[in-house]
Amino acid sequence: MSDVKEEKFTPAADIEAQAASWLQRRRYWSWSDDDQVALEAWLDESLAHSIAYWRLDAGLGRAERLAALRNPAPDQARLAFSGQDSQPRNRIFPTLTRIAVALAVAAVLGAATALFLLRPHDRTFSTPVGGHETVAFADGSKIELNTDTVLRTRMTTEQRVVWLDKGEAYFQVKHDPVHPFIVIAGDRRVTDLGTAFVMRRDSARLKVAVMQGRVWFDASNRQKPLQSALLTPGDVATATAGAMLVTKDTDRALKTNLSWRHGVLIFKYTPLADAAAEFNRYNRQKLVVADPAVAQLTIYGTFPTNNVELFSRVVRDVLGLHVRANGDDIVISH
């Protein structure tokens, strides 16, 4: 599988969630010797487990000490709430209690908002030029948005639909045979069959590359049949207005195309014109390759996506080209 190396370890967020679950059980619920044994077994499973637990335990302890949140007399809270001044023993206690009670009241009022937030509805996610963001959904699926991307989601109990309006995104889908995960990009549609894949949409074409599992690639509108295909790992489908081409990429090439997930661009004997175009997706400051001879020169290396300056410095020093700023542009020439 392509991503073995990355997926081997448990994500920190998962471990932290487990640690928090243990900690709250121990703190707020009845706790038996058996529970203790089970907790210790979990802690011993890996150092990462222990560390996450130590951290949350210390964090909670510190929060409590700091805010003196713990166990002020309940009637004091009520007094503060009713607006009468109780004799403060120190300054922090009553103030915080009052804040806490106010928060509690707000919390009750806020319940309506929470319900609204929990109700499934359409949401829009977008990233600016140079942006990069991951959205996690309740079903366990994740979407990672690359630079300058807009997508909309409709996640309900009946359906999971995403519209990729522009840009590029990496999808990691929790497979659910009853509720397929569908991504619509204009007149094309991808239906996941348990999967990780990346989609990139620009004005002229749509590109889908599959890392894991399988996806079904077809027309989004049944009235307008387009060529369809079942894509498996390594498959890259490129669709333009009327045509679709499926090619096989090596594992290595696929990873290179996903390097944006790590904030870098990888070039391997890439023509300067293409490299510049890639950079321009991520930065407001645009690279302009002035003459065709220069555009044909190739470049090899890894660059942070947001560092045009570094790139132009390397181009200048390594390829011996002339680089100059022209307003918002950086012009590369002989």
Site for another protein in 134-173 (CB under 8 A): 134, 144
Site for another protein in 81-100 (CB under 8 A): 92, 96-97, 99-100
Nearer to another protein, 96 or 226 (CB): 96
Q: How far is the CB of 245 from another protein (least distance, A)?
A: 26
Residue from 132, 160, 188, 189 touching another protein (CB under 8 A): that is 132
Nearer to another protein, 133 or 249 (CB): 133
φ, ψ of residue 333 in degrees (nearest 5): -150, 180
Nearer to another protein, 244 or 254 (CB): 254
Residue from 69, 129, 219, 246 touching another protein (CB under 8 A): that is 69
Site for another protein in 235-294 (CB under 8 A): 255-256, 259, 261-264, 266
Measured distance CA(189)–CA(208) in Å, rounded: 10
Q: Exposure pattern of 93-130 as b/e (b: 16+ CB <10 Å)?
A: bbebbbebbeeeeeeeeeeeeeeeeeeeeeeebebeee
Q: How far is the CB of 291 from another protein (least distance, A)?
A: 25
Nearer to another protein, 69 or 331 (CB): 69
11 is an interface residue for another protein by CB under 8 A: yes
- x/- string (CB under 8 A) for another protein, residues 182-221? ----------------------------------------
Residue from 38, 41, 111, 325 touching another protein (CB under 8 A): that is 111
Residue from 314, 319, 321, 331 touching another protein (CB under 8 A): that is 314
Q: Which residues contact 332 (CB under 8 A, 6 or more apart)?
A: 272, 276, 287, 288, 289, 290, 294, 312, 315, 321, 322, 323
Nearer to another protein, 132 or 188 (CB): 132
**Three-class SS of residue 212?**
strand
77 is an interface residue for another protein by CB under 8 A: yes
Q: What H or E segment, with its residue span, contains residue 112?
A: helix 92-118
CA angle 182, 255, 162 (to 5 degrees): 15
Measured distance CA(213)–CA(230) in Å, rounded: 11
Residues in contact with another protein, counted by CB under 8 A, come to a total of 77
Nearer to another protein, 134 or 326 (CB): 134
Residue from 101, 229, 295, 321 touching another protein (CB under 8 A): that is 101
306 is an interface residue for another protein by CB under 8 A: yes
Q: Are strands 160-173 and 322-326 parallel, antiparallel or unpaired?
A: unpaired
Nearest to 326 by CA among 289, 273, 297: 289
φ, ψ of residue 311 in degrees (nearest 5): -60, -45
**Cβ atoms of residues 166 and 148 within 8 Å:** yes
325 is an interface residue for another protein by CB under 8 A: no
Residue from 185, 201, 303, 330 touching another protein (CB under 8 A): that is 303
Nearer to another protein, 195 or 306 (CB): 306
Phi-psi region of 82 (alpha: psi -120 to 50; beta: other; left: phi over 0): alpha
**Three-class SS of residue 312?**
helix
Burial class (CB in 10 A: 0-12, 13-18, 19+), 225: exposed
74 is an interface residue for another protein by CB under 8 A: yes
Beta bridge partners of 143: 135, 171
φ, ψ of residue 169 in degrees (nearest 5): -150, 150
21 is an interface residue for another protein by CB under 8 A: yes
Q: How far is the CB of 234 from another protein (least distance, A)?
A: 18
Site for another protein in 35-64 (CB under 8 A): 47-48, 50-52, 54-56, 58-60, 62-64
